Every structure is written in C-alpha cells, then in structure tokens.
Amino acid sequence: MSALALAQARFIATLYSEDACEPGTAIYRRNLFANLGGALAATYPVVERLVGESFFREAARQYVLAHPSASGDLADYGAGFARFLEGYPHAAALAYLPDVARLEWACHECYGAADALALDFGSLAHVGASDQPRIRFELHPAVRLVRSEHPVAAIWHANQPGADGAPQRIEGTDHVIVHRQGGAVTVEAVAHAAWRVTEALANGDALGVAGATADESFGGHLAWLASRGLITGFSLGREAP
C-alpha cells in the first residue's frame, strides 16, 4: 500500500470512530454522521416514527460506526439497516421493527428503480396453447416482495403522513407486494397464493412450473399483476428451469 493510500485509510478509519481527533477532522466526522444519519432517516421514516427521534438517532449513529459508506451516492446507503436492527439490543423488544425496515428499503428501491415498457398483449396472444407453459413473464423492475410474520403493511400504512399511527391489524403474517403506480410507491398486502405466484415469476419460473403448485385462482393472480402493469414482458424457454 502506498503512503497516500495508507494515509487515506487511516483518515477514513478515524472518521468512522469515536476516538479523539483533530478539530478539522472532527468537522468532517460531524458532517459525515449528519449526512449518513439523514440518509437513514429519509429512507426509514416509519422506523423513526415508531421508535422516536432520539432512539433512531442513536441507532443510526451505531449503524454508521459499524457500516462505513461504500458509495458516493447517499441513496445506496442503509441496505443493511434491517439486519442491524435484528442484533441491536435496544430494539430486542420490537420484534416487528427489522421487517418494517425491510419493507421501507423495498419502498426505497421501488421508488428509484428503472421504468419499463408495458406488456405487449398482442404478441402474448400469438403464443400457441402448447407453448404457453414455457412462458416466462418479466416483472416490472420496481416490483419488490416482502414477507413478514408481522403485519408490516398495516404498520406502514398507519404511519404514513397524516395517519394516526394505529394499524388496522396488530398481528398476523403479511405477504406484501411493493410497486409503483403513477410514479408513487404502493404497498399492498395480498393473499399468500397471489404472493407465491408473484414470487415464482420473480424467480424466473415458467408458467407450467409456477402454476403446478398454485390454486384455481392462478389465472386471476396473473390478470391482477397484468392489470397493474407489474408484468412488462415475456420470453419462451424450457418449462423447467
């Protein structure tokens, strides 16, 4: 390692620590923690509302200390916050909190994901019946799937701006599809069967495979996805991956 690289590494290590440092370095450190902490607050507003500003600020500080930024884009920061909360001792009594964070990161990714052209229904209609089991649908780049043993969708909706913070459900498993509608992030809790179908498509399963374990509403689930613009393309391949 060159002398310059070594000096840079030492400087970064000093920034991401609580050790005493020179006044000039302290200014950099304060700005760094403020920027990264602000990025976390912007990405996880529901988590912050649930635990309060002081709790969140300290959790964010501990996260920043343990997870230096690896990107020059603040939008990339905070992907591991849910896993951090799983091991954060002060959040141990809030079993739902890490999954709320996972849902918020899914919303964050959904908002910044690329757009896509609409599904070409005309081309799809020309696929013969014998080839239909080989269809592999492509989901919109903004689609995200979250499963939780807690009612995270209800918690998320109850803690949006203007809401009273009281979720309609306080227990139960949630299967959530996060997507964009009209440029806005939409969080929908769906039936387990509908979520499983979406998960199969996201995994690249052909219709013949995805439908093999689905119930009689399989076609309805596909229609629901298509009606919301969540299916944007398709290809033909072997029926089994």
In tens, the pLDDT along 33-55 reads: 999 999 999 999 999 999 999 99
Residue 141's pLDDT band (cuts 50, 70, 90): very high
pLDDT surpassing 90 at residue 120: yes
Question: pLDDT value at position 238?
Answer: 66
> What's the pTM value of the predicted model, to 2 decimals?
0.92
pLDDT surpassing 90 at residue 214: no
The tens digit of pLDDT for each residue in 86-111 reads 999 999 999 999 999 999 999 999 99
Instruction: Return the closest-CA partner of residue 82 out of 166, 164, 146, 13.
Output: 146
Instruction: Return the closest-CA partner of residue 118 out of 3, 232, 235, 236.
Output: 232
Question: pLDDT value at position 198?
Answer: 95
DSSP type of residue 239: S
